[in-house]
Amino acid sequence: MDNRLFFPATERNRESIGKVLSKILLNRGFVLEIGSGSGEHGVVFQKRFPEITWQSSDPELLHRKSISSWIEYEGLNLKMPQPLDIDVEKTPWKIPFKMFLSIQGIISINMIHISTWNCTKSLFNESGKLLKKGQFLMLYGPFKIGNKHISQSNSLFDKSLKMQNKFWGVRDLGEVSEQASKNGFSREELIRMPANNFSVIYRKVVL
């Protein structure tokens, strides 16, 4: 059955995110994606970076079904593992041992503003336990800088998120980076992306 979902934003941001990934990825090991959504990013990046193994995950069954359908549709069944059921708040994350041994980093695209602040905390906490010194955690999405929105459209977006759920909202980069440092990460790079988004690369600096 074809359960593929189509998230239009992924078509707009996949190329620019792929360019950032091409600078930080090593040609080996697993990348764990948290909150993969439809799975469109996963299959695009798996094809773009064939030496790595892209491990998608999402807590929503409909999303995991979509990811599986995308994997099948793209003929990646032998290369790409089936999505994991990871809710960042349900810890410890259930991680296959093989991935635990050869993970090189974690990425989460457009997730932390569409979930509670506790999810952000948990993302850093669990990533800090899973990753070793030198490995990365990359976030992509809108951020406030110095607690201010960087554009009117981000401010409106933030309001619309809070109308859907009062615990959601565009996060402040400083507060996010504080969680990073509490869990052994340092902010390595902040990259301005199209449509008022950022890629943020955190690097684990302790063992």
Ligand X SMILES: C[S@@+](CC[C@H](N)C(=O)[O-])C[C@H]1O[C@@H](n2cnc3c(N)ncnc32)[C@H](O)[C@@H]1O
Q: Structure tokens of 136? A: 């990365």
How far is 126 from 168, CA to CA, in rounded Å? 20
For ligand X, the binding residue among 89, 172, 188, 189 (CB under 6 A) is: 89
Count of residues of this chain found to bind ligand X when the rule CB under 6 A is applied: 23
Strand partners, 137: 106, 202
Element (H, E) at 153: helix 152-164
Task: Find the part of the chain contacting ligand X (CB under 6 A) among 85-93, 129-137, 150-158, 186-194.
Answer: 85-93
Tell me which residue of 78, 79, 65, 3 sits closest to 36, measured CA to CA.
65
Residue 138 interacts with ligand X (CB under 6 A): yes or no: no
Contact (Cβ atoms closer than 8 angstroms) between residue 13 and residue 197: yes
Task: Find the part of the chain contacting ligand X (CB under 6 A) among 33-41, 45-53, 69-77, 154-162.
Answer: 33-41
Residue 34 interacts with ligand X (CB under 6 A): yes or no: yes
Residue 85 interacts with ligand X (CB under 6 A): yes or no: no
Residue 142 interacts with ligand X (CB under 6 A): yes or no: no
Tell me the residue number closest to ligand X, measured at CB.
37
For ligand X, the binding residue among 5, 48, 72, 87 (CB under 6 A) is: 87
For ligand X, the binding residue among 80, 109, 137, 173 (CB under 6 A) is: 109
Q: What region does 193 belong to: left with phi over 0, alpha with psi -120 to 50, or beta?
A: beta
38 to 77, contacts with ligand X by CB under 6 A? 38, 41, 58-60, 63
Element (H, E) at 144: strand 143-144
The nearest distance, CB 112 to ligand X, in angstroms, is 9
Residue 119 interacts with ligand X (CB under 6 A): yes or no: yes
Tell me which residue of 39, 62, 131 sits closest to 93, measured CA to CA.
131
Element (H, E) at 14: helix 8-24
The contact set with ligand X (CB under 6 A) reads 7, 9-10, 34-38, 41, 58-60, 63, 86-89, 109-111, 114-115, 119
